[in-house]
Amino acid sequence: MLLKYAPGATHAPHHSTKEWVDRISARHLFDEGWNKVRERIFENQKRLGVIPKDTKLSPWPKDVLKEWDQLTAEEKKLFIRQVEVFAAYVAYSDHEIGRVIQAFDDLGKLDNTLIIYINGDNGTSAEGGPLGTPNEVAFFNGLNELPVNVQMKFYDVWGTDQTYNHMSAGWSWMFDAPFSWFKQNASRLGGTNQNMVVSWPARIKDKGGLREQFVHVIDVVPTILEAAGISAPEMVDGIKQAPIEGTSFAYTFDTANAKAPSRHTTQYFEMFGQWALYHDGWFLSTKVNRAPWEVYGPANPDPLNNQVLELYDLNTDFSQTTDLAAKNPQKVKEMKEMFVAEAKKYQVFPLDASVAARIVAPRPNITAGRTEFVYTRPMTGLPQGDSPLLLNTSYTVTADIEVPQGGAEGMILTSGGRFGGCGFYLLKGKPVWLWNMVDLERLKWEGPDEVAPGRHTVEFDFKYDGLGAGTLAFNNFSGVGRSGTGTLKIDGKVVATRKLEKTLPAILQWDESFDIGSDTLTGVNDADYKPPFPLTAKLNKLTIKVDRPQLSPEDIKKLEESLKRAADAK
């Protein structure tokens, strides 16, 4: 029997229960701040023997993150709340994992059960930015430093369904001790090095033993196969399988092999154009050139070569603190060639250092090449990727409805939800178009009168002012998130007009769907209605026309010139 238990924890949003948050808060674990607590974690790691005694604690990144003593009282209060909610989430999920293991014990099966416990697949995430955020959807729309006074409005509901919360990156750096940097930084051990616990009482006799062999997460499957005494299938349902690429670490189970050399000798790492190569204890790494919260702005145009390369000897330098590249230029050259070979072998090329531009870039889907979408009946649950995207474009949404005697209410069309999205609905009979600007502001167009009984056309038209997502191909963000003017009409007559100075540039709340005739999960405006908010008028037809901006030859010329200037400046 194989069980893979993978909770959402501790990915953002950090959602625990009040019981766990109260339990953690009562312990005041973080009151001394991230610098002091980090030093304590480091001392504990040495005391427990999980890091070598001579490990150096990587320095605090003063140019990127403030030291705790530099913070205001309000910042400290907010950040402690953020980390207590995160810690409650960790403790809560750890408790639930304990229940799963207990269930095997209750069955009398624990002795002959192999348990592999990995509490992350990367370092701690820093996508909350230096200040944390009550809403990660805001982060992915470029609002990566929400002022503390804005965040304090969410203090009491932090970690509940009213927030899509993440913590300050100061805590993330702390949790990655003794290493530096975070998830996304594939060239730093703070972005990749995780502890792992393996238990199998019937087979592993070295209870409490420590192992330091280099092991990668891709080694888990070969280890399970070896433990179970089976080999990977060559064919599944008539389809030839790709080879398993990891190396079993079952040899480390034997006490005699406690100090055996690692059998996994070479491994590449890459994410968003930051890369590294491990080989026999040596570690070639690109110098970090972008903090994980810096997702907008031009990307490194040549992530393979436009890098500062650093070299570490992890045999003697556990925490990647002493750069030996200048002393070993030949080794650097050889390892870069080895990275290129590994990257070719495992389909890593082409390297792409862009982040936000990749989020915005259209994926192959059913909407490709279409400009008009007609829906003839209510439906829910359409993934946003298969629905017309209304960002960075002009569009017209037209609903042909029949209002019964006594009037109607309910959702005509919605996409996204509480943390960012749009809605087109009848509220106490009046038509409303609403843009939820990542839960910080709600921009509303509302007709002054109820739509009378009978057949009507309700329409929302938006004229976008920017050049659109086409500028991203030139490493240029000027086309997205720009202004535009929305007009709400009933039977062709204008009832509300409003100009937006800015629009959402990247993404709606990603775990909500595109719904017609009702609203699933969260609503875009809790003040107006509660989902599912079914439409009580009859929907004859809903038409969405999208008029995406096209770059003119002059626009393209200008963008090419600015791209060339940027490249020359490097």
> Could you give the angle at which helices 73-106 and 18-25 cross, rounded to 10 degrees?
120
Query: Look-up: residue for tokens 């079952």?
Result: 250
Q: Least CB distance from residue 26 to Ca ion, whole Å?
A: 36
Q: Is-contact 393 468, C-beta < 8 A?
A: yes
Q: In what order do the strands lie in the sheet with 410-417?
A: 379-382, 514-516, 410-417, 420-427, 430-437, 441-446
Of 69-77, 244-252, 286-294, 412-420, which part binds Ca ion (CB under 5 A)?
412-420
Alpha helices in 461-552 (DSSP H): none
Of 35-43, 51-59, 103-111, 510-518, which part binds Ca ion (CB under 5 A)?
510-518
316-375 residues in contact with Ca ion (CB under 5 A) are none
DSSP states of 247-312? ---GGGGSGGGTTPPPS--EEEEEETTEEEEEETTEEEEEPP-S-TT--SSPPPS-TTTSS-EEEE
Hey, what are 451's tokens?
């739509």
Of 208-216, 271-279, 302-310, 417-425, which part binds Ca ion (CB under 5 A)?
417-425
Of 127-135, 282-290, 384-392, 504-512, which part binds Ca ion (CB under 5 A)?
504-512
**Cβ neighbours around 274 below 10 Å, total:** 26
Hey, what are 84's tokens?
């207590």
Q: Least CB distance from residue 531 to Ca ion, whole Å?
A: 6
Query: Look-up: residue for tokens 């921009």?
Result: 443
Q: Least CB distance from residue 425 to Ca ion, whole Å?
A: 11
Q: Least CB distance from residue 515 to Ca ion, whole Å?
A: 6
| Residue 427, φ and ψ in degrees, nearest 5 | -115, 115
Q: Is-contact 433 151, C-beta < 8 A?
A: no
Q: Least CB distance from residue 137 to Ca ion, whole Å?
A: 13
242-281 residues in contact with Ca ion (CB under 5 A) are none
Q: Which residue lies nearer to Ca ion by CB, 170 or 417?
A: 417
3-state secondary structure of 151: helix
**DSSP class of 419:** T
Q: Least CB distance from residue 409 to Ca ion, whole Å?
A: 16
Lay out the site mask for Ca ion across 148-187 (x = CB under 5 A, - = otherwise): ----------------------------------------
Of 95-103, 127-135, 411-419, 448-456, which part binds Ca ion (CB under 5 A)?
411-419
In 3D space, the residue among 394, 424, 382 whose CA is nearest the CA of residue 529 turns out to be 424
Among 84, 270, 512, 528, binds Ca ion (CB under 5 A): 512
Cα separation values, 250 from 221, 225, 234, 289, 313, Å: 11, 10, 22, 37, 25
Cα separation values, 305 from 274, 294, 333, Å: 11, 21, 12
Among 310, 409, 519, 555, binds Ca ion (CB under 5 A): 519
CA distance 178 to 183: 15
Q: Is-contact 10 86, C-beta < 8 A?
A: yes
Beta bridge partners of 271: 274
Q: Least CB distance from residue 525 to Ca ion, whole Å?
A: 11
Q: Which residue lies nearer to Ca ion by CB, 276 or 504?
A: 504
Of 114-122, 401-409, 414-422, 477-485, which part binds Ca ion (CB under 5 A)?
414-422
Classify each residue of 317-349 as buried b or exposed e, where b means 16 or more C-beta atoms within 10 Å of its C-beta: bbbbeeebbeeeeebbeebbebbeebbeeeebe
Strand bridging mode 309-313 / 282-286:
antiparallel
Of 19-27, 157-165, 262-270, 505-513, which part binds Ca ion (CB under 5 A)?
505-513
Q: Which residue lies nearer to Ca ion by CB, 281 or 385?
A: 385
The amino acid present at 113, given as its one-letter code, is T
Hey, what are 62's tokens?
């003063």
Q: Which residue lies nearer to Ca ion by CB, 417 or 468?
A: 417
Of 49-57, 297-305, 336-344, 507-515, which part binds Ca ion (CB under 5 A)?
507-515
Q: Is-contact 556 564, C-beta < 8 A?
A: no
Residue 461 contacts Ca ion per CB under 5 A: no
Q: Is-contact 505 391, C-beta < 8 A?
A: yes
Which residue is at the shortest CB distance from Ca ion? 417
Q: Least CB distance from residue 521 to Ca ion, whole Å?
A: 5
Hey, what are 367's tokens?
């909407």
Among 348, 521, 556, 563, binds Ca ion (CB under 5 A): 521
Of 218-226, 379-387, 464-472, 511-519, which part binds Ca ion (CB under 5 A)?
511-519
**Cβ neighbours around 55 below 10 Å, total:** 18
Q: Least CB distance from residue 477 to Ca ion, whole Å?
A: 28
Q: Least CB distance from residue 504 to Ca ion, whole Å?
A: 16
Task: Specify the DSSP element, H or E, that contains 139.
Answer: helix 136-139
Q: Is-contact 386 370, C-beta < 8 A?
A: no
Q: Least CB distance from residue 532 to Ca ion, whole Å?
A: 9
Q: Which residue lies nearer to Ca ion by CB, 75 or 519?
A: 519
Of 235-243, 259-267, 416-424, 544-552, which part binds Ca ion (CB under 5 A)?
416-424
Hey, what are 285's tokens?
């790494």
Q: Which residue lies nearer to Ca ion by CB, 160 or 520?
A: 520
Q: Which residue lies nearer to Ca ion by CB, 418 or 456?
A: 418
Number of residues that bind Ca ion (CB under 5 A): 4
Q: Which residue lies nearer to Ca ion by CB, 222 or 423?
A: 423
Q: Which residue lies nearer to Ca ion by CB, 123 or 416?
A: 416
Among 134, 159, 417, 420, binds Ca ion (CB under 5 A): 417
Query: Look-up: residue for tokens 């059913």?
Result: 366
Q: Which residue lies nearer to Ca ion by CB, 323 or 526?
A: 526
Q: Least CB distance from residue 522 to Ca ion, whole Å?
A: 5
Q: Least CB distance from residue 508 to Ca ion, whole Å?
A: 10
CA distance 517 to 527: 19
Q: Least CB distance from residue 159 to Ca ion, whole Å?
A: 21
Q: Which residue lies nearer to Ca ion by CB, 134 or 417?
A: 417
Residues forming the site for Ca ion (CB under 5 A): 417, 512, 519, 521
